[in-house]
Every structure is written in C-alpha cells, then in structure tokens.
C-alpha cells in the first residue's frame, strides 16, 4: 500500500512566522506535489517536484517555497505566514509510469490556521 | 487549458441503491487521464478509479465504475450498492501528461439509511 504521511494534522501559527510542512512517502515515487484546498476554490497546485532537487511552480506558488533534498521527502515552506494562507494543505506522490498521467496518492492533510 | 465541471453540489441516495456522479471535462489534448477521488470528513483524498483517454473499456474497481463517453467529454462515476461509509465529497480530476491534476469543485454525497 502507498503511504504518504504529513508531519502534522493540525497546526496553528502566528502571522510572520516561518512554517515548515513536511511530507514523506515510502513508495520510492519520483513525483511529489503540494496542494492547498479552500472552500469554493477546490484544490490548487502550489509546487511539484519530479526528482530530487527539482521543482516546478504550480498554479499558486506565490508566498511559498519547497525543498526536496531526498527522494522520499518534500517540504513546503511558508517564509512569512499570512492569514490568507490559512488552509488545508495536501501532499501527494506518484510513480512515473504513464508519462505525466500517473495516479497521485495523497496524505492525510494538514489544517493550518494562521492567526 | 483543461477544465473539469461537476454540476451537482450535493446528491442523496438510499443505502444499497446505485448513484451516478456527473463529471464533464474540457481539453484539446488527445492524451489525458481521468480520475475520481473520495474525500471523507477526515480530509484524506482517496484514489478510487482511473480512465485513460485511449482506454477502450470503461474502468471498474469493485463497486465503482466509470462511465466514459469520449464524444460527450463526460466521465461519470457510478457507485453501486451504496453504503453509509460512501458518504463523502467526491472529486473528478484530469491530467494531460504534464503531471498536473486539475480538479472539479466536487459533489457531496450523502447516503441515507
């Protein structure tokens, strides 16, 4: 079974804090993704990575950065958290088998509240 | 650009009955993949079923089947013999070989006992 874990289910931070969200997958997947999910807006891709140290911007990268130093770990960084970054953050991973059409497997999500 | 439309914000079904959740998509790319995910109130996004644009047969996974009508650009999810545990948000999603999944807004399914 594919296992994607996220470091926290719930997180409360203050405006201006630096926030790290960690994601780990145990299936040797090449691709990893970070999404945020907001009511009425659905899921939106923030960043993804198709290899170690490689990253690509998604649809809403502003205010975020990512790090992938090891294949199994993909971190999302909020350099200076703002209240509009309060959201549900979902990490996903996929194996490169269908030329970019692979099934993505998701972690349990992190509900972040920025005060 | 690719787009997914789910026109049913909410659906109700009686336990043990079948239900169809609608999904239409829009893309000019001939090669694409279609997915359905389930999201219970706990928040985790659970993969249910995949259909490739060149697949000749409709995908099936247990009680889930995907009614793929390419000419109409629709990819409806059919859940047979609904169970109380099927109550959740359901998302249709698509990718066009660029790793990016585009999601619809979702349909909230409620299964009544």
For chain A, 115 residues long, the average pLDDT of each consecutive 10-residue run is 89 97 94 93 92 92 96 96 97 82 91 97
Flag whether residue B72 sits within 8 Å of chain A, measured between CB atoms.
no
Mutate to test the interface with A, among B55, B64, B89, B99 (most CBs of A within 10 A): B99
Quick one: pLDDT at residue B10?
A: 96
Q: Which residues of B touch A45 (CB under 8 A)?
A: 100-101
Which of A43, A100, A103 has the CB atom closest to B47's CB atom?
Answer: A103
Terminal C-alpha separation, chain B: 41
Average per-residue pLDDT for chain B: 94
Quick one: pLDDT at residue A95?
A: 87
In chain A, the residue whose alpha carbon lies closest to the alpha carbon of B47 is: A105
Quick one: pLDDT at residue B84?
A: 97
Q: What is the pLDDT of residues B62-106, one digit of tens each?
A: 999 999 999 999 999 999 999 999 999 999 999 987 778 899 999
- Render B55-91 in DSSP notation, one character per residue: -SS--EETTEEEEEETTTTEEEEEE-S--GGG-EEEE
**How many angstroms separate the CA atoms of B12 and B20, rounded?**
10
Question: Confidence class of residue B8 from pLDDT cuts 50, 70 and 90?
Answer: very high
Quick one: pLDDT at residue A28?
A: 92
Quick one: pLDDT at residue A40?
A: 83
Quick one: pLDDT at residue B100?
A: 83
Quick one: pLDDT at residue B2?
A: 85
Q: Which residue has the tokens 């509900």?
A: A111
Q: What is the pLDDT of residues A41-60, one digit of tens each?
A: 889 999 999 999 899 999 99
Flag whether residue A47 sits within 8 Å of chain B, measured between CB atoms.
no
Sign of CA dihedral B50, B27, A105, B79: negative
Least confident of A95-99, B8-12, B70-74, B109-113: A95-99
């Amino acid at each position: 079974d594919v296992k994607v874990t996220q470091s926290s289910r719930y997180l409360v931070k203050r405006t201006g804090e630096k926030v790290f969200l960690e994601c780990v997958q145990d299936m040797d997947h090449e691709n990893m993704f970070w999404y945020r999910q907001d009511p009425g807006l659905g899921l939106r891709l923030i960043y993804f990575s198709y290899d170690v140290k490689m990253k690509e911007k998604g649809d809403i990268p502003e205010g975020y950065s990512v790090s992938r130093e090891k294949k199994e770990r993909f971190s999302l960084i909020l350099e200076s958290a703002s209240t509009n970054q309060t959201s549900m953050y979902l990490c996903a991973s996929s194996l490169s088998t269908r030329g970019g059409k692979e099934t993505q497997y998701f972690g349990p999500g992190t509900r972040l509240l920025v005060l | 650009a690719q787009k997914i439309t789910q026109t049913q914000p909410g659906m109700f079904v009686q336990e043990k009955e079948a239900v169809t959740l609608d999904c239409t998509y829009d893309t000019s790319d001939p090669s694409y993949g279609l997915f359905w995910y389930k999201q219970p109130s706990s928040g985790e996004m659970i993969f249910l079923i995949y259909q490739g644009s060149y697949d000749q047969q409709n995908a099936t996974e247990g009680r889930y089947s995907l009614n793929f009508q390419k000419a109409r650009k629709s990819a409806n999810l059919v859940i047979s013999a609904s169970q109380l545990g099927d109550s959740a948000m359901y998302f249709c999603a698509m990718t066009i070989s660029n790793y990016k999944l585009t999601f619809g807004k979702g349909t909230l399914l409620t299964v009544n006992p």
